[in-house]
Amino acid sequence: MQASDRAPALTPVWTPRRAGASLVAMSGTTTCPGCGLRLPASGLPPDPRRNASPECWQLYGEVQGFALHHLGLVRDLHQLTVDAYAAQHAPREVDGDLPAISVAYALVGLQLALDRGASGGEVRAAHQRMGRPDRSWPRLATPARSGAMTVFDVAAAGAMVDSVAGHATAVRAWAAAVWRAWAAEHAAVAALADRLLANTTDQPPSEPCPKPRH
Ligand SMILES: [Zn+2]
């Protein structure tokens, strides 16, 4: 089932709660440009810095908020959640010559976690060692379809029913689906990770590390 098919069944707690939202805006739905998730419109303006509807971004925040109350989810799955969301909301058009930094970080994170079994802490350490993108990094083409699951599935299995185990299972399945959607770039991402991480082992970064945009 497509996540969008379930959108009308959203419980009121997940309805955007912005007091100033107009009735006109509240009456429609939005479709997230990154993941395709349809949710009731909140009236919030889209943020041009991210390829996500404001409603999808808000739901992602709610999912992260649920996880923050559970130490095991924070420790084991926070990084995977961040990387899955960023990879699923990669921009279709890339400005300039450099890949979007958040996307490259996210894909290397998914590769390390899902193909190599790295922990969240290990992925974060790898991100710190990656440095800034330069022209040697591959241009990673965003797939036309970003996976059959969305952050809505994580919310439905976890936060909406107060299930830590459901959240954990859904995050892993969602991240795996997103990573599969990027199959055409798996080899390029693995090569990038190998090169960047092999060259920087045990060496501190020469300048403050950029933080991925989340
Ligand atoms: Zn989305």
Q: How far is the CA of 112 from the centre of ligand 1 (A)?
A: 23
Q: What backbone torsions phi and psi does residue 39 show, to the nearest 5 degrees?
A: -140, 160
- Of residues 10 and 75, the one with the higher pLDDT is 75
Can you give the pLDDT at residue 27?
A: 60
CB contact set of 175 (below 8 Å; sequence gap of 6+): 80, 81, 83, 84, 110, 113, 114
User: Is pLDDT at 19 greater than 70 in this prediction?
Assistant: no
User: Is pLDDT at 96 greater than 90 in this prediction?
Assistant: no
Q: Which amino acid is at 10?
A: L
User: Is pLDDT at 7 greater than 50 in this prediction?
Assistant: no
pLDDT tier at 74 (50, 70, 90 boundaries)? very high
CB contact set of 184 (below 8 Å; sequence gap of 6+): 141, 143
User: Is pLDDT at 11 greater than 50 in this prediction?
Assistant: no
Q: How far is the CA of 22 from the centre of ligand 1 (A)?
A: 22
Q: How far is the CA of 85 from the centre of ligand 1 (A)?
A: 8
Q: State the residue for tokens 């959607």.
A: 181
Q: How far is the CA of 90 from the centre of ligand 1 (A)?
A: 10
Q: How far is the CA of 60 from the centre of ligand 1 (A)?
A: 8
Q: Which amino acid is at 80?
A: L
For the chain, counts of helices (H) and of strands (E): 9, 2
Q: Tell the burial category of 55 from Cβ atoms under 10 Å away from its Cβ (0-12, 13-18, 19+).
A: buried
Q: Residue 129: name the closest of 210, 186, 191 by CA.
A: 210
Can you give the pLDDT at residue 126?
A: 93
Can you give the pLDDT at residue 94?
A: 62
What is the Cα–Cα distance from 128 to 210, expressed in whole angstroms?
8
| pTM beyond 0.85, yes or no | no
Q: What is the mean pLDDT of the chain?
A: 82
**Quick one: which H or E segment has residue 156?**
helix 151-157
Provide the 3-class DSSP secondary structure of residue 53.
coil
User: Is pLDDT at 101 greater than 90 in this prediction?
Assistant: no
Q: Tell the burial category of 5 from Cβ atoms under 10 Å away from its Cβ (0-12, 13-18, 19+).
A: exposed
Q: How far is the CA of 55 from the centre of ligand 1 (A)?
A: 8
Q: What backbone torsions phi and psi does residue 151 show, to the nearest 5 degrees?
A: -65, -20
Each residue's pLDDT tens digit, 28-55: 999 999 999 999 999 999 888 889 999 9
